[in-house]
């Protein structure tokens, strides 16, 4: 068909184009953001969202859905702002235990053949409960070393941009290019075939959940490093943002079709929508609704891409 | 014919049984495969062939019996995929085991665990290309293509090639081919069978499962016949003839008498129920289907026939530039997994789903009427199951297909379109379904039937041959024979 763009290219281009459009709009409305300081300020809060989105991507790769990532990141933030600061050993042990808990959830979901949505929905309340127990009222303090890392001033390019690029590239290499990553994605594409080829689906799933837990922990640490204090509800909206970020980035809910670089771009887009709306002087009470509308528009673009693909097939 | 090399059997089963709950899929099977032989395995649907192959490949453990690999007994509880793979047993499953989200090269990696470390992608790509080149010369498949974007036939070719790959760590000694030719067109299928013969000459072993008896006779040295979960005959190929083989499978031998009696008056009169034009058609040719007519779509696989069916189906509820449809329509899928069965539903629900409005009272489905319809079609098409409430996936491939036929035939549709629906279906079931189609056509139903098997065209009143998305020939009853259809399918290549 002449005149139709290559659907694969289009799929890869949508997240990059949406982000570029958004940035251009922000730069026009508020030219001062086009500086080292301005970009750093805007993107600082996007970095933890990008990590949480990557955690979600690992779960979506194996055809599951994680509704607990927001609660989990909140809990990690609370641990980081209390135990990790006051009794670092206890804090580290708690973070490792929470990653182990994530891995165990993966094993449970696989072995008992449970729907991940139900298990993680339940767990989201458990994480939130833990967060409230650890830090009953907003406060706490981030460890000094953590703040120092997150607020580190890189020459020329803000740290958050380098970190986002590094995140996308590393996960791309690990999941999309490496031999091990291929098998992990395969278990989302056709689990039965993977089992028939002699791989353990249990190990694959546990690996993915453990990776998700690890990235969730990193997201929580960065978040506390940026905000310097925590709150049990600090990251609850990450659950939906992370799912939307993966889908916006070119991923699918099932079938192991994901794109790590796209997911980072998707996460940045969603995080920046908030900034744009502030610059447009939209009242905060309207912002969430406006954010939702923009999300629908962008996801509609995605489904348009899907239609192109079907027509090309 | 050279006999197989006398050797310890690569794999030997004795008295192997397998039960799924109340259903006994295997009732004590003895089977040994030696080096350098091709065993043809035949039997009607549900005879236990696929279950037996799953045991050989290690994906299912037998309930009871003895299992030996290269002369060494293995406790049946220890039968596993990795043991089978270590012994060089590879299996091309009927429902393909490729990951559609990965590229062909990446699928090689999934199957061959030793391909890892730096440069694995290049190596896997080279191995795949070599295998494809030696089995299917001129295949035209790019190793970097995503499997989900390939046609069913090409996916099958990739799957077959992956199983014949020799890596540093492992080589195939016994390759099981379960209905390998069902989604390949004839020229590619013969390439595969020729390769299988060369593989066997070099000392490899093949188990070939096929419902196309010609394939079995041309390729196998030995034929094993299964019926009701047991081996009922196991003899060299020379000891069988076509009729004898069909009789051993448990069906009365019949000649090619399937040709439909010409109706007294031509059906191609009056206004057609369906008129459709392939989007790439440049001249005035149109596919037309009249009431009570069986119209065949022929040609090599993937030349626009399925696309036309999809287009016609779309035109039932939408305005379409390319097709007009007057009447209700039902569809029988060929690619069961992707557009046929509802995998989480029971057999009965899969049958009744197209007819729920007519089974309803006051907007609620009447479970009594639903059960009656399920019972009726279980009897009519002889669906082999103890209970229509079982999950659809408990059925063998052919019986799942029967359920899909029941869904379409039991509905109120006046036109039934079929997308190569007989893939992997055994001779007996085919005959029953052909018979049914003829009866239904006699009662005024119309059929639009895409098929890759020439024999099935003999049941049609009118045939359109497709090539490169266009109608290239239109043949009425009595005008077509195999040669004409093939000629039209290949014309461009010959010129």
Range in B28-32, B379-383, B481-485 the model is least confident about: B481-485
User: Cβ of A188 and B101 within 8 Å?
Assistant: yes
User: Cβ of A196 and B59 within 8 Å?
Assistant: yes
Nearest to B82 by CA among B200, B169, B7: B169
Question: What is the distance in angstroms between the Cα of A189 and the nearest Cα belonging to chain B?
Answer: 5
For A11-41, give one letter per residue: b (16+ CB within 10 A) or e.
bbbbbbebbeebbeebeeebeebeeeebbbe
Of A182, A186, A198, the CB nearest to B85: A198
Ranked by mean pLDDT, which of A76-85, B258-267, B379-388 comes out on top?
A76-85
Pairing of strands B462-467, B470-476: antiparallel
Nearest CA in chain A to B159: A193
Q: Is the separation of the CB atoms in B193 and B219 below 8 Å?
A: yes
Answer whether residue B185 shows pLDDT above 90: no
Is the minimum CB–CB distance between A177 and chain B shorter than 8 Å?
yes
Q: What does the DSSP 8-state code read for residue B53?
A: H
Average pLDDT over residues B198-220: 90
User: Cβ of A182 and B102 within 8 Å?
Assistant: yes
Question: What is the distance in angstroms between the Cα of A180 and the nearest Cα belonging to chain B?
Answer: 8
Q: What kind and span of H or E run contains B467?
A: strand B462-467
Chain B residues 127-166 within an 8 A CB cutoff of chain A: 149
Q: Which residues pair with B235 in a beta bridge?
A: B223
Is the minimum CB–CB distance between B438 and chain A shorter than 8 Å?
no
pTM score over 0.80: no
Is the minimum CB–CB distance between B115 and chain A shorter than 8 Å?
yes
Of A180, A196, A313, the CB nearest to B81: A196
Residue B253 has what pLDDT? 39
| Portion of chain B with pLDDT greater than 90, in percent | 27
Answer whether residue B4 shows pLDDT above 70: no
Query: Rounded CA gap, B495 and B482, in Å?
Result: 19
Other CB atoms within 10 Å distance of the CB of residue B254: 11
Q: What is the DSSP string of A217-270?
A: HHHHHHHHHHHSSB-TTTTTTHHHHHHHHHHHTT--SSSS---HHHHHHHHHHH
Chain A residues 196-215 within an 8 A CB cutoff of chain B: 196-199
Of A182, A183, A198, the CB nearest to B82: A198
Candidates B58, B102, B280, B335: best to mutate against A (most CBs of A within 10 A) is B102
Answer whether residue A266 shows pLDDT above 90: yes
Give residue A133's pLDDT band: very low, low, confident or very high (50, 70, 90).
Answer: very high
Average pLDDT over residues B472-490: 77
pLDDT tens-digit readout, B21-46: 666 788 889 999 999 999 999 887 66
Tell me the chain B residues in contact with residue A255 when contact means C-beta distances shorter than 8 Å.
Answer: 100-101
Instruction: Report domain extents, chain B.
Output: 9-249, 274-490
Q: Which two tokens stand for residue A144?
A: 């000094």
Give residue B2's pLDDT band: very low, low, confident or very high (50, 70, 90).
Answer: very low
Average pLDDT over residues A130-136: 95
B274-490 maps to CATH 3.40.47.10: no
Residue A62 has what pLDDT? 95
Answer whether residue B492 shows pLDDT above 80: no
Other CB atoms within 10 Å distance of the CB of residue A263: 29
User: Cβ of A182 and B93 within 8 Å?
Assistant: no
User: Cβ of A193 and B110 within 8 Å?
Assistant: yes
Kindly report the CATH class assigned to B9-249: alpha beta
For B231-247, give one letter per residue: b (16+ CB within 10 A) or e.
bebbeebeebeeeebbe
Q: What does the DSSP 8-state code read for residue A175?
A: I
Nearest CA in chain A to B117: A179
Query: Rounded CA gap, A187 and A181, in Å?
Result: 10
Nearest CA in chain A to B116: A179
pLDDT tens-digit readout, B60-115: 889 889 988 888 888 888 888 888 888 899 999 877 789 999 999 999 999 998 88
Residue B70 has what pLDDT? 85
Using the Cα atoms of residue B421, residue B424, residue B428 and residue B429 in order, give the sign of their dihedral: negative
A185 burial via Cβ count (<10 Å: 0-12, 13-18, 19+): buried
ipTM: 0.89
Q: Is the separation of the CB atoms in B405 and B421 below 8 Å?
A: yes
Q: Is B65 left (phi over 0), alpha (psi -120 to 50) or beta?
A: left
Is the minimum CB–CB distance between A182 and chain B shorter than 8 Å?
yes
Give residue A83's pLDDT band: very low, low, confident or very high (50, 70, 90).
Answer: very high
Is it true that B9-249 and B274-490 share their CATH fold? yes
Average pLDDT over residues B260-270: 62
Q: Is the separation of the CB atoms in A45 and A226 below 8 Å?
A: yes
Q: What kind and span of H or E run contains A126?
A: helix A116-134
Tell me the chain B residues in contact with residue A115 when contact means C-beta distances shorter than 8 Å.
Answer: none
Nearest CA in chain A to B162: A197
Range in A53-57, B148-152, B252-256, B359-363 the model is least confident about: B252-256
User: Cβ of B97 and A197 within 8 Å?
Assistant: yes
Q: What does the DSSP 8-state code read for residue B481?
A: -
Residue B258 has what pLDDT? 47
Query: Rounded CA gap, A109 and A105, in Å?
Result: 6
Question: What is the distance in angstroms between the Cα of A67 and the nearest Cα belonging to chain B?
Answer: 24
Residue B201 has what pLDDT? 94
**For residue B240, how many C-alpha atoms fall within 13 Å in the half-sphere facing its CB?**
27
User: Cβ of B99 and A192 within 8 Å?
Assistant: no
Average pLDDT over residues A184-191: 94
Q: What is the DSSP string of B367-433?
A: HHHHHHHHHHHHHHTT---S-TTSBGGGS-HHHHHHHHHHHHHTSS-SEEEEESTTTT--HHHHHHH
For B25-49, give one letter per residue: b (16+ CB within 10 A) or e.
bbebbebebbbbbbbbbbbbbbbbb
Answer whether residue B489 shows pLDDT above 80: no
Give residue A84's pLDDT band: very low, low, confident or very high (50, 70, 90).
Answer: very high
Q: In what order do the strands lie in the sheet with B415-419?
A: B329-332, B415-419, B446-450, B294-298, B462-467, B470-476
Answer whether residue B274 shows pLDDT above 90: no
Q: Is the separation of the CB atoms in B261 and B243 below 8 Å?
A: no
What size, in residues, is chain A? 313
């Amino acid at each position: 068909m002449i005149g139709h763009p290559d659907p694969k290219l289009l799929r890869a281009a949508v997240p990059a184009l949406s982000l570029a459009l958004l940035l251009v709009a922000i730069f026009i409305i508020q030219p001062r953001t086009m500086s080292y300081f301005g970009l750093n300020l805007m993107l600082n809060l996007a970095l933890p969202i990008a990590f949480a989105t990557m955690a979600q991507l690992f779960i979506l790769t194996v055809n599951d859905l994680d509704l607990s990532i927001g609660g989990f990141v909140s809990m990690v933030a609370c641990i980081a702002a209390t135990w990790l600061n006051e009794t670092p050993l206890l804090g580290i042990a708690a973070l490792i235990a929470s990653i182990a808990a994530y891995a165990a959830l993966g094993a449970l979901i696989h072995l008992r053949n449970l729907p991940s949505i139900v298990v993680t929905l339940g767990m989201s309340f458990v994480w939130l409960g833990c967060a409230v127990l650890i830090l009953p009222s907003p406060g706490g303090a981030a460890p000094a070393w953590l703040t120092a890392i997150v607020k580190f001033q890189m020459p020329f390019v803000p740290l958050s941009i380098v970190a986002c690029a590094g995140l996308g590239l590393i996960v791309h290499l690990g999941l999309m290019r490496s031999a091990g990553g291929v098998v992990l994605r395969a278990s989302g594409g056709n689990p039965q075939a993977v089992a028939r080829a002699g791989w353990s689906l249990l190990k694959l799933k546990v690996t993915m959940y453990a990776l998700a837990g690890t990235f969730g922990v990193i997201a929580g640490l960065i978040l506390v490093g940026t905000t310097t204090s925590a709150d049990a509800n600090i990251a609850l909206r990450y659950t939906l943002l992370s799912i939307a970020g993966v889908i916006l980035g070119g991923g699918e809910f099932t079938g192991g079709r994901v794109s790590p670089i796209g997911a980072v771009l998707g996460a940045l887009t969603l995080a920046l929508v908030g900034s744009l709306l502030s610059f447009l002087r939209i009242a905060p009470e309207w912002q969430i609704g406006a954010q939702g509308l923009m999300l629908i528009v962008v996801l509609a673009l995605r489904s348009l891409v899907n239609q192109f693909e079907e027509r090309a097939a | 014919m050279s006999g197989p090399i006398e050797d310890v059997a690569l794999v030997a089963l004795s008295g192997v049984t397998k039960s799924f709950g109340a259903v006994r899929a295997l009732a004590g099977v003895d089977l040994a495969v030696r080096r350098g032989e091709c065993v043809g395995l035949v039997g009607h649907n549900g005879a236990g062939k696929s279950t037996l192959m799953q045991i050989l490949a290690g994906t299912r453990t037998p309930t009871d019996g003895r299992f030996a690999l290269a002369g060494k007994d293995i406790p049946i509880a220890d039968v596993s995929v990795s043991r089978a793979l270590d012994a060089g047993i590879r299996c091309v499953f009927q429902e393909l085991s490729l990951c559609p989200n990965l590229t062909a090269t990446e699928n090689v990696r999934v199957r061959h665990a030793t391909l890892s470390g730096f440069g694995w992608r290049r190596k896997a790509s080279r191995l795949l290309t070599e295998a494809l080149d030696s089995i299917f010369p001129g295949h035209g498949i790019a190793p970097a293509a995503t499997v989900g974007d390939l046609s069913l036939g090409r996916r099958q070719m990739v799957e077959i090639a992956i199983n014949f790959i020799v890596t540093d760590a492992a080589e195939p000694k016994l390759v099981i081919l379960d209905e390998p030719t069902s989604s390949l067109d004839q020229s590619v299928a013969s390439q595969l069978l020729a390769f299988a013969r060369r593989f066997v000459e070099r000392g490899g072993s093949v188990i070939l499962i096929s419902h196309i008896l010609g394939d079995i006779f041309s390729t196998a040295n030995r034929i094993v016949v299964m019926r009701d979960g047991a081996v009922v005959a196991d003899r060299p190929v020379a000891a069988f003839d076509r009729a004898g083989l069909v009789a051993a499978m448990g069906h009365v031998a019949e000649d090619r008498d399937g040709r439909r009696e010409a109706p007294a008056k031509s059906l191609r009169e009056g206004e057609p129920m369906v008129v459709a034009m392939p989007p790439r058609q440049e001249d005035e040719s149109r596919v037309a289907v009249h009431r009570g007519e069986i119209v065949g779509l022929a040609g090599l696989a993937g030349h626009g026939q399925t696309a036309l069916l999809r287009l016609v189906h779309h035109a039932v509820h939408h305005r379409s530039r390319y097709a007009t449809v007057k009447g209700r329509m039902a569809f029988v899928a060929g690619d069961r997994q992707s557009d046929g069965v509802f995998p989480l539903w029971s057999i009965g629900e899969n049958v009744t789903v197209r007819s729920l409005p007519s089974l309803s009272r006051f907007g609620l489905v009447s479970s009594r009427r639903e059960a009656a319809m399920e019972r009726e079609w279980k009897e009519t098409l002889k669906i082999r199951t103890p209970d229509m409430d079982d999950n659809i996936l408990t059925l063998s491939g052919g019986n799942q297909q029967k359920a899909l036929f029941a869904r379409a035939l039991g509905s109120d549709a006046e036109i039934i379109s079929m997308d190569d629906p007989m893939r992997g279906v055994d001779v007996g079931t085919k005959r029953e379904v052909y018979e049914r189609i003829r009866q239904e056509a006699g009662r005024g139903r119309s059929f639009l039937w895409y098929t890759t098997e020439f024999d099935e065209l003999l049941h049609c009143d009118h045939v359109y041959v497709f090539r490169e998305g266009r109608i290239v020939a239109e043949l009425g009853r009595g005008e077509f024979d195999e040669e004409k259809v093939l000629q039209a399918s290949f014309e461009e290549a010959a010129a």
